Amino acid sequence: MKKHNFSAGPCILPQIVLQKAAESVINFNGIGLSLIEISHRGKEFIEVMENARSLVKELLNLPEGYSVLFLQGGASLEFLMVPYNLLKVGGKAAYLDTGVWSSKAYKEAKLLGEVNVFASSKDKTYNYVPKNYKVPADVDYVHTTSNNTIYGTQLKEFPKTDKLLVCDMSSDIFSRQLDFSQFDLIYAGAQKNMGPAGTTLVVVKDEILGKTGRVIPTMLDYQQHIANDSMLNTPAVFPVYVSMLTLEWMKSIGGIPAIEKLNEAKAAVIYNEIDRNPLFKGFAEKEDRSLMNVTFNLVDESNKEAFDKLWSAAGISGIKGHRSVGGYRASIYNAMPIESVQILVDAMQQLEQQVLK
């Protein structure tokens, strides 16, 4: 049976990417060696790294002056690297709190200096994005999280500030058109829209670095990673290669404009059903709904067993909601075909027919 993978991460990747990646593990580019046993200093992998970084700049339409890094440690390590590299000694940082990951990020920043949480949606279990807030003026940088995987909310607008703007885009990178040049630093774990777990994308404006007045440990210093072309230590060779393949696939289908159109169509299919079907209700406020993570609940939990049987029989996987929210979460990342979304909608309609017949 064909499986429909709605997992929040590690997540679905395009079939053509998986096929090429599988072949590379046996024989990379016909050289008679596996990708995972070649030297990361050899010309074959250096070409992979250079191509991956170039594709990031092209797809995000970045101007000159930005460096692209493929690091390790996930977004969780970036929670610490960001303040190490941007928070001045004796300085302050401002964080927009929209979920678990943003709260983890500001807790790490507090280890190095004063943190101002200038707005939060914790009061309603993060089911909305704060608005009408005032961004502090006396800070070194402003930190945001563009998409909140657990709660299914997404920032449609970003804070207007003359301070450095930082964004954790782990769960919606490359999914929609934005002016990416408005950000001074972007980071994203690969395992949502870009590749397998194991590498983290960092895009940083060169001119903002080296101004904190603090001593930065070598492995936490962006300038050290830039100087060594993302190979200060042995890089995550396989995740970087698969990310490169995924970036090539994105470019081949029309880049972010085409991907955004597909994502909007998929989201409309399932959100329309949630709003139409009397047995379901959405978790996130409508105006803040994510294009990537659709969170919803049953109106009557007594229908849970019946619904679980229906989606399971349809070959659906990874749809259970996060323990802090409950219910269901359909992650419809870039590689998710609209046909799989329709299979989920069919299961929701089948439940409606059973219960309301």
Handedness of CA 192, 12, 334, 276 (dihedral sign): negative
- Asked whether the beta carbons of 330 and 4 are under 8 A apart, the reply is no
Residue 56, H or E segment: helix 43-60
101 is catalytic: yes
d(Cα 316, Cα 322) in Å, to the nearest integer? 16
Tell me the one-letter amino acid at 206.
D
The values of phi and psi at residue 96, to 5°, are: -95, 120
Active-site annotation holder among 97, 101, 288, 311 = 101
d(Cα 12, Cα 332) in Å, to the nearest integer? 9
Radius of gyration of the chain (CA): 21
206 is catalytic: no
Terminal-to-terminal C-alpha distance of the chain: 29
Active-site annotation holder among 97, 163, 192, 249 = 192
Active-site annotation holder among 97, 140, 168, 172 = 168
Q: What is the 3-state secondary structure (H, E, C) of 305-335?
A: HHHHHHHHHCCEECCECCCCCCCEEEECCCC
Catalytic (active-site) positions: 101, 168, 192
